[in-house]
Structure 1
């Protein structure tokens, strides 16, 4: 292999297996006197650039705008371009510096390190980038850079590529695409003083001296005082002598004071700004138009002050408002109270109540902001009640919005009694019944579940209303019934009754299609709620025909399994009966047959074991594995089970091994077992139950991805 010296790979290896260059250690650091500035000027969309001589450093830069400043350093075929965004930053801003290094020579070169010199005071947040490492151009492999990027005491940030063997930063020849681009993210301190800043960079090519561009004179960056805007908020109108609130808002929120002004004259003393706002209660002494402004004076030297645009307040005599309070319903020939409330409460004057525009009695004097009177309606129907306030000197008049009173003739009181079942099962209809006494001539009953209507109102017939209803969620449900009333009969509400609704369940049975007498197999069941996300709790009793198989088995995460050995040949009808804990309804599985035969003396016994890990992560694919042993040739298939639920289709045995990719979507323990079908010359077999713990994907547990682990 041919190697190169300076700018390429070294020509020999040292004792640590690293390439060395005969010129190593003989590099140079270009002095300022030898630098040659290359100034790039952007004007009218055209850029002109003076060429730099061979072996010289060239510093160049575009004229910075408010958004971006760019400058370059060129030497020995390298060109490093530094872009700062924004060029003019404010305290608290986030600023990004992007450095891109290219190589226009015909030889691919490599970098040992690169240093960014940010504007003074800028605080490093992160360093990211794309770096092609080593001769192979491995993108960000083993990392963007070696070690950690930290900020030195002088503010500089250096990244290096010297730790990983043969993984220096590649700078492809002829300005190729495989070159490093790094982005440094900084925060401007909140207390940063305004003014220009200098910035720069340096980098060291492999087997060469450091190329320095710090500072970069044409990289125009600076910190500016944070501009502010002030807005003043005032009411459109006010009353003489009545305090009103003036509010100023400073954006962005900065510390300082607000001086409110009325026509240029100060209103009181300056008000401190808190969370960007300042408020002042002020009572105007004269009527007319008042022009209000707010002047913000900042506390910090790196914040600009501002003055709001003026807002006008029209100051008027004291206005009043009036409201009237009446009962929503009343009966004929029964006395009710009509009340009017005046604001402000110190308003003096009288109130005239009106019914459909006709005066009710005589005006009533206002005392402590209120006036009231007793009134008896003589006719039924809807009555529109209002009130008119006539103010004394200094107070304007006002009229209250209309309020309606529905007046009816007295009717017979009723009582409603509710009848409901004590218990119910989700999605199974039950009857709700309400009886109204005395028997009304009509009307409806609205049944309610936890205050929400159940369907439409049900007509009352012969004093009874019934409704067939299926609850969709489990739990204790509070049922009520409201009688609407009818002509001559008052409405009434029944006392609430409670229905305990259990979640309907389905029991899924998992058994092998065939078995052999004397050979242990597994019976499994999984119980699922038909609604909601709760996992049923309780126990399962397995039955062979009418005979119980062992004792009831407590569910674990909704599943139960028991080992069982059949002793007689023939077809055995297996069922599983779920006995629930509180909150769930019992259920019985569909009957499933197991064909049991005596072992063939010529068949070779087999055994099957689960070899996949006992842990998995919900939502992450896991390869379930099992191994069958017992004969040189193992025909047949293996069926995986999760409790009583078959996982996928039977998997053909290949060289004694089966694999099945499966994703669990619920956390908790899952009871996994497998059934080997056997085949010509080989007996079937069933594995032991493996409890596989499935955890959340938030780091509480992980699982092997089997054959997918290398993807």
Structure 2
């Protein structure tokens, strides 16, 4: 792609006008949508992240936008952006694009369904972020997702983004906004309970066990270590699903079990905080979740 560094003189106050307009544009023409926006600063970088609908239904399409701004006169170039989402959201082909005056589609974004992200990258000078007298550039990365039937209902699903640029990197994988899929009419609620995880040690296989109620619902349970895919298993006739987990690094973890839902049974999930001991540890560390009671099951 050729350089998209766009120089444009702006009148006083135009930056504020643009910053306020994105939220309004996202909600335009979408019936019963609940758009949301979040803004945060890190050093002299400012990020504005919008989601077109934070309470979608299964089958709906939502659009996520992240705008990059500067609060100092030092320019920054964006090299890559990784948009993070829940694994039940499916990337809409052709929707990834960077905008700066005009829209520039990303031809071949990296779509990782297991780790649930869409990543785009550009040349080192393609996209500049700047805010100095006479010049203001705030490129926006956007991507769309379709809400799947396997999305847990009634629980906040985190979103976020990571990026790399000329001034370093930013890791905001759970910054938000979150989305919540409502329970579908005519369906049965489900609950998923992840058993406390004890004795987790680097290099040692540990069995993860989740219990789904109603027990005969069928479907699958996907296990994750944070955003990293561990494995997926069919739910047995007794409502149990298991997967083997061999942690690669020591430290605090959040392990999650996502139940897919099936037919007229809604999806659900549960998570536990786990402390993973270093390799060769003799004492073994228990589950922080078991000490604190975990996070409980959630719809």
More strand by share: 1
TM superposition score category, shorter chain reference: 0.3 to 0.5
Greater helix share, 1 or 2?
2
- TM-score (structure 2 length as normaliser): 0.46
Larger radius of gyration: 1
- TM-score normalised according to structure 1 size: 0.21
